[in-house]
Amino acid sequence: MKIFLLGAGGFIGSHLIEKILRTSDYEVSAFDINVSRLEKFKGNKRFTCFQGDIFKETDYIRDQVAECDVVLPFAGVAMPSYYLTHPLWTFELDFEQNLKVVRMCAKYKKRVIFPSTSEVYGLANENILMEDESPLVTGPICRMRWIYSCSKQMMDRVISAYGFEKGLQYTLFRPFNWIGHGLDTMEDARQHRARSITQFIYDILNRGGVNLVGGGTQRRSFTWIEDGTDALMIILKNEKGKADSQIFNIGNPNNNYSIRELAEIVIDEMKKFPRFADKAAAAKLNIISPEKYYSGGYDDTKNRIPSIEKIKQLGWAPQVSLRDAVRMTLEAYHE
């Protein structure tokens, strides 16, 4: 199997490539504007990489789609700080550019595995979020946060429509707060743009504490990145076509914690590392308003718990607890 992976240098893409090359005989053609995370794979005979801009390299992308078996369009914006400050760019990348790629897949009859997002559920008031039943409820237009959710939801709908009308072979997956080393860069964290665990680690080491937006009462179901990529490997293999025309939540409902609880676990685990211990012991938890932290346009959902019954039917279940995920992430940064 030959895989064309756009956005390969991102958090999920780079971890997935590592697993593909380590555990399978698949070939990977990688594409991204930033390939620094992919340097370690160069020299592997089953890996090729092209550095380019998805907005500009249409001919190259078309050639790769035509030559591969499966396309993974992972290019996109996934940080609230970005889609709050650059909503048009978020839409152009997450929807328009990925739509371009999906249309190529339909033309050349290639299978697509597309990363939706748990954000599509938005403000849905459901205890357990189900792929084929739960409503997708976004906030008001003035809250720019929801342009990311809407862009992803429209891609879900368009891909499904291509499957319905044109026979496009596809699978959609919705990651629920996947975490691990390399989730974001420390430069992102320095500029207050990183997500959860990366931002917490940086702030504890450099700012003396953690800012809890809105008090950190919002809850998420955190998922270890290796658990997530295990699920993607099953989807790639697609035994008996069971993943075709399906949407799968990929998350860990047993790891449902508040953002404040996550911060407390990070501090607690950092105390166990000699290089981090002193600053972790002195770290403060500071409550900050969303308006002050994000400068307006922010909105949030109180809780996200995925139903994973569908993906379990393919033989997958998450294995790693939140505390173990935090510890392994810290080990990577400590090294």
Instruction: Spell out a b/e string for 55-79, using b for 16 or more CB atoms within 10 Å of the CB, else e.
Output: eebeeebbebbeebebbbbbbbbbb
Residue 11 lies in a domain: yes
Three-class SS state of 171:
strand
Residue 89 lies in a domain: yes
Residue 105 lies in a domain: yes
Q: How confident is the model at residue 74, as a pLDDT?
A: 98
Count the domains in the chain. Answer: 1
Phi, psi dihedrals of residue 285, rounded to the nearest 5°: -100, 115
Identify whether the C-beta of residue 76 lies closer than 8 Å to the C-beta of residue 93: yes
Please give the span between the terminal C-alpha atoms of the chain, in angstroms, as a whole number: 34
Check which CATH number belongs to the domain holding 18 and give it: 3.40.50.720
Residue 37 lies in a domain: yes
Q: How confident is the model at residue 10, as a pLDDT?
A: 96
When the pLDDT of each residue in the chain is averaged and rounded to a whole number, the result is 95
Q: How confident is the model at residue 299, as a pLDDT?
A: 82
Question: pTM of the entire structure?
Answer: 0.96
In sequence order, which ranges of the chain are alpha helices (DSSP H)? 11-23, 58-67, 80-85, 87-91, 98-108, 146-166, 186-190, 196-206, 225-237, 259-270, 277-282, 290-294, 309-312, 322-334
| Domain range enclosing 243 | 2-180+222-254+304-319
Residue 200 lies in a domain: no
Phi, psi dihedrals of residue 167, rounded to the nearest 5°: 75, 20
Residue 75 lies in a domain: yes
pLDDT tens series, the chain, 335 aa:
999 999 999 999 999 999 999 999 999 999 999 999 999 999 999 999 999 999 999 999 999 999 999 999 999 988 888 888 899 999 999 999 999 999 999 999 999 999 999 999 999 888 899 999 999 999 999 999 899 999 999 999 999 999 999 999 999 999 999 999 999 989 999 998 899 999 999 999 999 999 998 899 999 999 999 999 999 999 999 999 999 999 999 999 999 999 999 999 999 999 999 999 999 999 999 999 887 877 677 788 899 999 999 999 999 999 999 999 999 999 998 88
Residue 259 lies in a domain: no
Three-class SS state of 262:
helix
Dig out the tokens for 167 from the structure.
Answer: 């026979």
Residue 128 lies in a domain: yes
CA angle 37, 41, 46 (to 5 degrees): 135
Taking only the tens place, the pLDDT of each residue in 217-239 is 999 999 999 999 999 999 999 99
Dig out the tokens for 180 from the structure.
Answer: 């691990």
Identify whether the C-beta of residue 307 lies closer than 8 Å to the C-beta of residue 129: yes
Q: How confident is the model at residue 292, as a pLDDT?
A: 81
